[in-house]
Chain A
Amino acid sequence: MANNSHNYVQLKTIDELLERDKIRESDGFPRKIRLGRIIKPGKAGKDKIIVVPTTIEEKFYHDQIHYKPEDSSKQAGDGKGDPISGGTGDEEEGEILGEIPIHYEGESEGGAGKGDGEGHNVTANTYDLGKILTEKFKLPNLKDKGKKKTFKRMVYDLTDKNRGFGQVLDKKASLKRIIQTNRALDRMPDLSDIDTEDFIIDPRDLVYRILSREKEYESQALVFFIRDYSASMYGNATEIVTSQHLMIYSWLTYQYSKQVESRFILHDDTAKEVPDFYTYYNLSIAGGTYVASAYKLVNEIVKKENLSKDYNIYIFHGTDGDDSEAVGTEALNELKTMVSYANRIGITVVNSSYRKSKSTVQKYMEDSQLLASHRNLIHLSTINDNADEQHIIEGLKELIAES
């Protein structure tokens, strides 16, 4: 056993596992592999996402007693109020130990990981996911529209370091060098009484920033992700929208060879732009729903920054279909502006499983003729709030299909 260190696992790749899963279907058994992701949130776009296959080994297991699905509003609480864990300390019964925001849950699982480290960042892995989605789930490849080519832009920036001469002195780096030199010469002063005049300074100890040419790749695609984060989106609906948007983002990243920019917009009855996927993914605040507010914000951003000139613009919106504006006059107006510049507008309506009639958004969209007159531009997809990965991908295909 001592010598055969690595032959106890013949690891299959995601591709092989998916291939096997396809054969299952032809053998008459349901598919079992789903694409999962592990997200380690970080601020300012430093989220790390790793794409992994997941599967469940179904067995007869005991479950907790839940509320009936119709009573799902109750499920926001915690079942019967059963204890969820143990603890230790001096508090009396009934005292509050602490609180955490609702959407924080789960992300701290897996142990306290610290540090930034090298390795996989969100782009590398979303690229992989996009590749898998395109190849395995047969998402369409984008047609080259021919009007915009990738081009490199050269810029000059003070990024390189140079010893001895340069444009701006990097004081911190220089001081480090000076200390290293003096330490090597055994000339370190008494720490409580430092006289900087005594340091010997080698001219090469001075570190400068120097202007250098940098290649900058122009992004071709710009994606607006709009998510309804009103109170009614609690639970699965939000999960589905964020899953689907992550997939779209991955798919576009792959299609445009990683040169995708994205903007994130959240709305309830007012809309706001948030800086990164982390916030986009996590924020949840109770409020009403006013769809037009979000569309209006997108239009304003595009106009103000003159984005339509330089980018292929994609807009994806996920909502549960509630809107305080019953006929959607304003939302439709904003959409009409949008179709003048967008390459694709995809709206996902997550239907709650106990809703009987069509949602407001779906209704006014279908009434408006906009879907028919701009069949190439606006796609609407509805999905149930208990949908699994397969359905989410089906919905995704609807959104991005060429028609």
Chain B
Amino acid sequence: MNIISQHVKGIMEECKKHATDAGLKFDDESLEYIVTNQDMLELSPKHMIPTLYDYWVQDVETLIAKGNYKLYPSNPYETVINTRPAVSFYNDNNPDWLNVMIFYHVLGHIDMFQNNTFFKHTWNDDFLGKARADKRLVNRLRSEHGRWVDYVIEFTRGIDNITGYYRELSFFNQGLESVYSDRLNYYFDIFLQNIKHVPHHEYLKNMEKYNEYIKNNRELGESLFFSEIKTQYPEFESLFDQSGTEPGKNPKDLMEYLLYNSPFLNRDENMWMKSVIHIVRDTSLYFEPQRRTQILNEGWASFWHERLFLNDKRIAGHEVDFAKVHAKVTSLQRVGLNPYAIGMRLFEYIEIIAAKGSHSYEFQKTYNIERRKQFNKKNQKATDFLFKVREEHCDFTLINTYLDQDFVNRYKLFTVERRLNEQRRSWEYIVKSRKSKDYRQMLTDTLWHPPNIIVDEEKTDEGKLYLYHVDEEKPLVSEYINNTMIGIEYLWGGEVNLETSDIYLEAGKEEKPKVIKERKLYTMKNTKLRIRTL
């Protein structure tokens, strides 16, 4: 792994200038390295983070990738990692013109990482450095505890997809703006409403009283207010203390719950495991936004590499070369999904509707098809609107906000169904639907959507952990439940229960099969799984 040459760095710096002029925003500093394809194969199981902690599954994945590479060699152009300063990896053998295009693409990614609100919790991190420290710690623990470190990693990774990512994020978003104290929030939001169930007028009276105190004494008003509350509700203070504003009382996900409440992890001799769990959890949270912004991210980068390169004089003489590479990356497949292609077209489309003003309410309430066609506000600042989109959306909201029927028609999209032809022993691929609703649904189904599994604290007692899978009409992959629960049992140190739904189809006489749903309780005890119907 070597840093790029001064000549190539010069190309990058010029790209940065053009990109900034066009409105992209990113830190000035960035690091670019040349790597071999072999390096890339070894890095991809580590999410391209060279300093990520070691784990044997990565070795397995690397061996598979190498096997695959032997049969199907490929040549990735670039990879960017979201860290400060931003780091990107390149292939050795690119000509200058191609580097210009790739750099624009990379800058698109960096702009996304550093401005999209779903990445907010990663903005202050030098993740490479943090990962390096974590890796050292894991290695040290391994020298003390041997393979048990790997078991803890394994079992934690078994639940690292059900992180409280949004809770983590909302903490970041409100953190600074919150001007009221936890005590006050608790009193008005929870104590009065959920515990005391006070009637509406009483609630308002309380609020008035509080405002009165503050008006009279800005600094001491709140504590005076609460000293009066104490006489009225003597139990308030102790309830507030237990309420979960202190760490561990209000865990964001199963991993955090285990960290604070697992009897096994909190034994002196097992304290080291907690650091491992923290490392796995932080790593997983770090990559959450990337999983949720693939279409957005690749679309944005492709949109900008096209736009910036076409307006760059360095393209001269390489227009055809560019067209070829660009088409390979961003063409819509006849059958299949290409996030680069859909994403880029979405941004192009959004720019058009932003220029016309047809994303407005005024347009949406226009039903006359002719008037809809003529509708044009000739908005000059359409690109500004794009920057807002890249700031505020993830894949799910992007698709559900902008992928409408006009988009589907414009790019002639459809969903594809596969049907077995018994006679010919073949699969037939058929155009299923051209409706935007169906296309959106099909895309949505491909998005990252981990199950919502929470700890039911009321049912958890005496060493029995009770997990509740919030029903979303989707069953869990049943083959994986056993081993995942073995892992949780280990980390919890006792019986683990999981309430979930078995959902399956039953072929009936009607054309459409019947969907059958049964609530089931999976119980893992001494690595043996029992299942019973609730």
Contacts and interface: CB of A to CB of B under 8 A. Distances in A.
A, B co-complexed: yes
A33 B472 CA distance: 32
Contact of B507 (A5, A71, A100): A71
A13 B483 CA distance: 24
A53 to B, nearest CB: 5
Contacts of A85: 335-337, 415-416, 442
A286 B425 contact: yes
Interface stretch (A21-29, A261-269, A350-358): A21-29
Nearest to A12: B59
Given A55-B60, A65-B505, A97-B334, A113 B71 contact: yes
B427 A9 contact: no
B180 interface: no
B46 A77 contact: no
A60 B70 contact: no
A81 B62 CA distance: 35
A216 interface: no
Contacts of A92: 431
A88 B417 contact: no
Contacts of B413: 86-88
B504 A68 contact: yes
A194 interface: no
Contacts of B335: 85-87, 97-98
B423 to A, nearest CB: 9
A92 B333 CA distance: 17
A222 B479 CA distance: 39
B416 A93 contact: no
A155 interface: no
Interface string A32-53: 0100101010000000101111
B43 to A, nearest CB: 7
A9 B451 contact: no
Nearest to A91: B431
Contacts of B420: 76-78, 102
B245 interface: no
B429 A99 contact: yes
B161 interface: yes
B130 interface: no
B453 A93 contact: no
Contact of B506 (A12, A38, A68, A102): A68
B51 interface: yes
Interface in B112-132: none
Interface in B422-436: 422, 424-434
Contacts of A87: 333-336, 413-416, 429, 431
A261 to B, nearest CB: 25
A99 B506 CA distance: 28
Nearest to B504: A68
B188 interface: no
Interface in A270-307: 284-286
A53 B504 contact: no
Interface stretch (B9-17, B151-159, B311-319): B151-159
A95 B413 CA distance: 14
B327 interface: no
B39 interface: yes
A87 B445 CA distance: 15
A93 B419 CA distance: 14
Q: Which of B67, B332, B450: most chain A CB closer than 10 A?
A: B67
Contacts of A54: 60, 64
B404 interface: no
A339 to B, nearest CB: 35
B283 interface: no
B442 A52 contact: no
A113 B434 contact: no
Q: Which of A54, A56, A74, A88: most chain B CB closer than 10 A?
A: A88
A100 B62 contact: no
Contacts, number: 267
B157 A61 contact: no
A375 interface: no
A158 B477 CA distance: 60
Given A11-B42, A57-B157, A88-B411, A65 B63 contact: no
Contacts of A86: 333, 335-337, 342, 413-416, 439, 442-443
Contacts of A74: 505, 507, 513
A102 B419 CA distance: 11
Contact of B429 (A8, A53, A96): A96
Interface string A101-114: 11001000011110
B2 interface: yes
Contacts of B162: 59-60
B33 interface: yes
For chain B, give the interface size range. 35 or more
Contacts of A98: 335, 428-429
B337 to A, nearest CB: 5
Contact of A63 (B56, B73, B477, B513): B477
Q: Which of B39, B59, B66, B68: most chain A CB closer than 10 A?
A: B59
A29 B337 CA distance: 39
B320 interface: no
A23 B147 contact: yes
Contacts of A9: 42-43, 46, 54, 58-59, 62
Nearest to A40: B71
A97 B335 CA distance: 9
Given A14-B63, A67-B504, A93-B434, A62 B412 contact: no
A67 B507 CA distance: 8
Nearest to B503: A65
B476 interface: yes
Contacts of B68: 38, 50, 110
B89 to A, nearest CB: 11
Contacts of B507: 67, 71, 74
Contacts of A120: 70
Contacts of B50: 1, 8
A186 interface: no
A232 to B, nearest CB: 14
Contact of A17 (B56, B337, B342, B449): B56
Nearest to A81: B417
A68 to B, nearest CB: 5
A388 to B, nearest CB: 10
Contacts of B72: 40, 110-113
A83 interface: yes
A74 B68 CA distance: 33
A33 B2 CA distance: 35
Contacts of B157: 57, 59
Contacts of A4: 1
A372 to B, nearest CB: 39
A58 interface: yes
Contacts of B418: 78, 84
Contacts of A52: 60, 63-64, 66-67
B430 A90 contact: no
Contacts of A67: 504-507, 513
A146 interface: no
Nearest to B486: A29
Contact of A57 (B57, B151, B469, B513): B57
B527 interface: yes
Nearest to A73: B507
Interface string A363-383: 000000000000000000000
Interface of B: 1-3, 33, 39, 42-43, 46, 50-51, 54, 56-60, 62-64, 66-68, 70-74, 147, 151, 154, 157-162, 332-337, 342, 411-422, 424-434, 438-439, 442-443, 445, 449-451, 453, 469, 472, 474-484, 486-487, 503-507, 512-513, 515, 527
8 contacts: A12-B59, A55-B60, A63-B476, A65-B515, A82-B445, A87-B429, A88-B413, A91-B414
Given A4-B1, A9-B43, A9-B46, 8 more contacts: A2-B1, A8-B51, A28-B527, A38-B68, A60-B484, A63-B478, A85-B336, A99-B421
4 residue pairs, one from A and one from B, having the closest CB atoms? A113-B72, A83-B415, A58-B480, A50-B67
